[in-house]
Structure 1
Amino acid sequence: MRAEVPPVTTPREAAREAAERELSKPMYHENDPSLVDRATRAFFDWLDDLFGAAAGATPGGAVGLIAVVLLAALAMAALWWRLGSPSRTTTSPGTLFDDGIRSAADHRKAADAHAAAGRWTEAVQERMRAVVRSLEERTLLDPRPGRTADEAAAEAAASLPGHAADLRAAARTFDDITYGGRTADADTYTRLRSLDLTLTNAKPLLTGPTP
């Protein structure tokens, strides 16, 4: 009778290493998700956990969370409407005139041309420049480079106090559309054109030392 041969055994560590080498072969990983797929799945898992935690902490659960999100969206929309589009950079108000010296008549002509073409923002800008240049030509303002619309309105109010509010409003409109990202329309231009015509015929308040 033949003696029994003991079974061949492989050490545990060597067996593990052999299995790892076998499983590392490309044939076993052809259908594995890509790195992008794994990252995307991990992100959405994290997002799901985040919303789950937020819903649990919000009164009313998921319904309360949806209400909070809607209120936040409404607040952002209101801020957008108040400040204008964030795609435009809001800058501090700069100088009123950005080119060479032109007469009030030249600015009015340019404003009317822009208005006829429906370019209301440019029309308002040129009409505001016409207002200030006209006041300079009438010596109600001293010609001064670098003057802002707000400064012009404040200085002109000293001679035309009855129109101070309209001048300040016109200066704010100029700054909003030039530096604040707002857009003008036909009504805005009509109001400024009317102010220009009114100021042309307005009698200034003469100030000076009493004789």
Structure 2
Amino acid sequence: MTVIPPTAMVLDDIGRDEARRKAFEELLKPGYQQESLPNRLIRIVQEFIDDLFDRAPGGIPGGVLALVLVLLIIAALVTLIAWQARRATRSRRAADGSLFGTRERTAAEHRAEAERLAGEAQWGAAIKERLRAVARDLEHRAIVAPQPGRTADELAAAAGRELPAFDERLAEAARLFDEVTYGQAPGTAEGYQTLSGLDEALRTTRPAAAAGR
């Protein structure tokens, strides 16, 4: 008499087509539409394991236990991949939100890039490049100290303390930068003119303490 292993009985009961159909039906349920993909995969694996336990006769056979361990490893890998992806996304957002992004350029290079972008009517990108030119120029002239990861608001505050006459214009420039960076605003030609005018004015300006000497 041929004895059918418990593992084969369990897998046969479920069936590949039935398992595929159940998984597809789960994905279509309205309650899970807002669920993230990693969480959804983990939940499906957990439900599959529970179903195996329920169907296995006389406890947990060795074959089923091995299968469960494999599925648990897969679930752990999915979780790790999802965590790494979220971490990379946060890093990219932090880099995009910082004043200089990920590429180091001189003030002249930022100005040239800003003018190129403005010529193509890419006002949001042009505004960001022009404020970066302002920041690099202020750092080069030692009006503000270099600070990795500095935001536009931090630049405006630091420069405003050294150049109080430009305090409001610097704050406005930081606001325009934040709008096109965080608010996803497209930017405007007027906004770019505000930045380029500020840049040109600052290039011939010295701190009040230095000007008094």
TM-score by length of 1: 0.53
Deviations 1:41-63 (A, max 9, x none): xxxxxxxxxxxxxxxxxxxxxxx
Cα shift at 1:101: 1.9
Q: Which residue of 1 aligns with 2:56?
A: none
Q: Which residue of 1 aligns with 2:201?
A: 198
Question: How do 1:1-211 and structure 2 match up within 5 A?
Answer: 94-206=97-209
Cα shift at 1:168: 0.4
The alignment partner of 1:206 has SS state of helix
What is the letter of the counterpart of residue 182 of structure 1? Answer: A
Overall identity of the aligned pairs, in %: 43
Bigger relative contact order, structure 1 or 2 (CA pairs below 8 A, ≥6 apart): 1
Distance (Å, rounded) in 2 between the aligned partners of 1:135 and 1:188:
20
Cα shift at 1:178: 0.6
What is the letter of the counterpart of residue 98 of structure 2? Answer: T
TM-score by length of 2: 0.52
List runs of 5+ in structure 1 lacking aligned partners: 1-90
What is the letter of the counterpart of residue 97 of structure 1? Answer: F
Q: Which residue of 1 aligns with 2:5?
A: none
What is the letter of the counterpart of residue 142 of structure 1? Answer: A
Distance (Å, rounded) in 2 between the aligned partners of 1:126 and 1:178:
11
Distance (Å, rounded) in 1 between the aligned partners of 2:184 and 2:123:
13
Distance (Å, rounded) in 1 between the aligned partners of 2:189 and 2:175:
17
Runs of 4+ in 1 over 2 A off after TM superposition: 91-94
The alignment partner of 1:146 has SS state of coil
Distance (Å, rounded) in 1 between the aligned partners of 2:209 and 2:133:
22
The alignment partner of 2:208 has SS state of coil
The alignment partner of 1:97 has SS state of coil
**Total equivalences in the alignment:** 117
Q: CA RMSD in A?
A: 1.7
What is the letter of the counterpart of residue 137 of structure 1? Answer: H
Query: Counting helix residues as a fraction of each chain, which structure ranks higher?
Result: 2
Distance (Å, rounded) in 1 between the aligned partners of 2:197 and 2:155:
18
